[in-house]
Amino acid sequence: MRFTLTSPNARKKAVWGRSMLLALLAALIAAPAAAQTSTTDVTAKFDDAVREAWSTGSFSRVIMKFATKEDRDRAAGELLNKGAAVRVLDDDETPSLNVFASPAAFGTVDYADRISYDAPVQVAAATAAPVRAKFVRGLGAKIAKANYNRPGTGVTVAVIDSGFKPHPDIAPARILKFKDFVTGGSAQVDGCGHGTHVAGIIGGSGLASDGDFSGVADETNLVVVRVLGDDCSGKTSDVIDALNWVYKNRNNYGGIRVVNLSLGHPIFEPSSSDPMVKAVQKLAEAGVVVVTAAGNMGVNPKTGKIGYGGVGVPCNAPRAICVGSGDTKNTDGFDDDRVADYSSRGPSRFDLLAKPDLVATGHKVISLSAPGSYLYNTYPALRVTGGYEGANTPAQYMTLSGTSMASPMAAGTAALMLGANPKLQVNTVKMIMQYTSRVMPGVDALSQGSGYLNALGATRLAAMINPKAKVGAYWLRRGSVPGVNEDMNGQTVKWGKRIIWGDRFIKGDAAYIHMSRWDDNIVWGMDALLDNIVWGNCAEGCENIVWGNYWDEFDNIVWGNVKIEDNIVWGDNIVWGNNIVWGFWAENIVWGFWDDNIVWGNVHKYSQDNIVWGNDWMDNIVWGNSNDDNIVWGNNIVWGMFSGQVLSGGVQ
């Protein structure tokens, strides 16, 4: 939705309205907290899913965090006495419990710091008709390996997924460790088949296909951590245990430098309190690049149209590299490349960060199969032979689609980059990967992030940088940043040279200088210089309505100028607070939870009446038409008129 100011009076009214909006914003933010604490203080510590379980009395599995181990142990004893199932999570820095009980039980532990839903995690993979193709087309990974002689040699990547089934394309000596958080076993297994496929994208040699289906970094070593069962699902608590295990073992197995997470769940709370995000952040702060899948929630299930705000956890972790799925249409040219419809778009719920960070090939990707697994047995049409299978030998490959396949493309690229320059920090890897990405024309930033992954460009720039250069100094080893390269098909790849920082782009020559924000002591997108600006600070005559520009070179991503090229407001898709409103006229739905739902739209194409989506807390928000009869009643906030009648208190 775009507002264009056409007269001085209209402009004054908008300025007055903005001031009123600022005053109301505090009420909007405070209302949910008041509603939560009106029942009991402990509910203020719940995420949305736990709050819903509390309201219905349903049993739920939760993760409880405490300030001290003493509090954790005290709570464990109290909960066990109430008949709850309790497990201590392996996290020394954040004492935590995994609890299965009724809300009446865990709700009495009012000294817990936070209570979060132990959400089921799912793979971010889908099925699609197979296409026999070299899936590294457009990445330039093969040229990067040849030119820099660094096919991931000496770099260890941890694959947190459904396990691994031995395959000819990954020699046994390259699997340095197999850790199973599902059964506790030691044998290499993959009852789902997803983890084997992901591992092949990162580091498969292509042995069984004469090199046709090789991975991105085919000499990497792998640590496989199983958290997903035979049905391709698992629990958040197991993923957290896996991340903490990697954290403790990051200096073992040759040094774990990269982690891939092609799994996730919806966002139920801000990233600052989400337990999986916190585990990702801790690992990244320790120097491990964490690559995540954006998720496959890019299509509004109500209308079947592309929508926004579907990115999940842990994609919303500020330090993570969140990857969406690109579709090459199985052609060598770039002109038809696009973001797959199913690929989740940003911004992230609560934090409103621009995600994904970039996209990579994820549609119809051929990689390793795990014969006998769920995916292999359920989708026989997706099996692909590599050319060496005999009459009685199962197919060694299969085709899958999804951001699950895009994420390991970027993880493998990170391995190439670290092979070329082992001293790179996590933030530097992310910056380089974004800076060298190829921007797809006509695709908005919340769909493609900084652009399409360019493995050759990323490896090339990584090799040029001198990480030991002083902060503020030019840090390229030799020459200048080229800005272009050629992919494996000889096509020119122009670097986008744009970096997402929080909710805006940093453009220009930002990669040339060793800035402090490229070091790991800065949380990505959160430094003091570029704190998120909600209402902008544009000068006289600027027509920014919601989000404005900080400086000319820092373009905002979520809301920009009235200039068409700067606005990313996708027709009738509205970003407001924690909610994404999809659809138009009578088809508006809210992608949100509980008492933070706000709908801004029309109930009918010939009417200026607004729809109210609220709940029993009496915090419904009505944002009305252009009339000046602005009224506030208690928690109900009314802006304008509704069907020509003034709303009176209470839920309408």
- pLDDT per position as a tens digit, 594-649: 334 434 333 333 333 343 444 433 344 444 433 333 333 333 333 333 333 322 22
Which ranges in the chain are annotated with CATH 3.40.50.200? 122-464+471-502+510-518
Residue 121: strand pairing partners: 234
Write out pLDDT tens, residues 320-334: 999 999 998 877 778
23 — pLDDT class (breaks 50, 70, 90): very low
Residue 335 confidence class, pLDDT cut points 50, 70, 90: confident
Give me 307's structure tokens.
């929508």
Burial readout 40-57 (b: 16 or more C-beta within 10 A, e: otherwise):
eebbbbbbbbbbbbbeee
pLDDT band at residue 288 using 50, 70 and 90 as cut-offs? very high
Taking 50 as the threshold, does the pLDDT of residue 165 lie above it? yes
φ, ψ dihedrals at 600, nearest 5°: -125, 105
- pTM for this structure? 0.79
What CATH superfamily is the domain 122-464+471-502+510-518?
Peptidase S8/S53 domain (3.40.50.200)
Please, are residues 550 and 534 in contact by the beta-carbon 8 Å criterion?
no
Q: Which of these ranges, 306-310, 388-392, 455-459, has the smallest mean pLDDT?
A: 388-392
Check whether 220 has a pLDDT greater than 80: yes
Burial class (CB in 10 A: 0-12, 13-18, 19+), 119: buried
Angstrom distances, CA of residue 25 to CA of 28, 382, 534, 547, 589: 5, 51, 10, 14, 22
User: Any idea of the CA torsion for 110, 116, 117, 118, to the nearest 10 degrees?
Assistant: -110
Of 161, 327, 503, 596, catalytic: 161
pLDDT, averaged across the chain: 76
| Range 37-46, long-range pairs (CB < 8 A, 24+ positions) | 40/107, 40/110, 41/110, 42/107, 42/108, 42/109, 42/110, 42/112, 42/115, 43/107, 45/112, 45/113, 45/114, 45/115, 46/115, 46/116
Instruction: Determine the pLDDT at residue 585.
Output: 31
Q: From CA 633, how far away is CA 619, in angstroms rounded?
A: 10
194 catalytically annotated: yes
Looking at domain 45-118, its CATH architecture is: 2-Layer Sandwich (3.30)
Q: Which one of 167, 194, 197, 363 is the catalytic residue?
A: 194
Out of 60, 262, 348, 404, pick the active-site residue. Answer: 404
d(CA 359, CA 450): 8
Q: Is 197 a catalytic residue?
A: no
Cβ burial, residue 132 (10 Å; 0-12/13-18/19+) = middle
Residue 570, classified by CB atoms within 10 Å of its CB into exposed (0-12), middle (13-18) or buried (19+), is middle
| CATH 3.30.70.80 location in the chain | 45-118
Residue 404 among the catalytic residues: yes
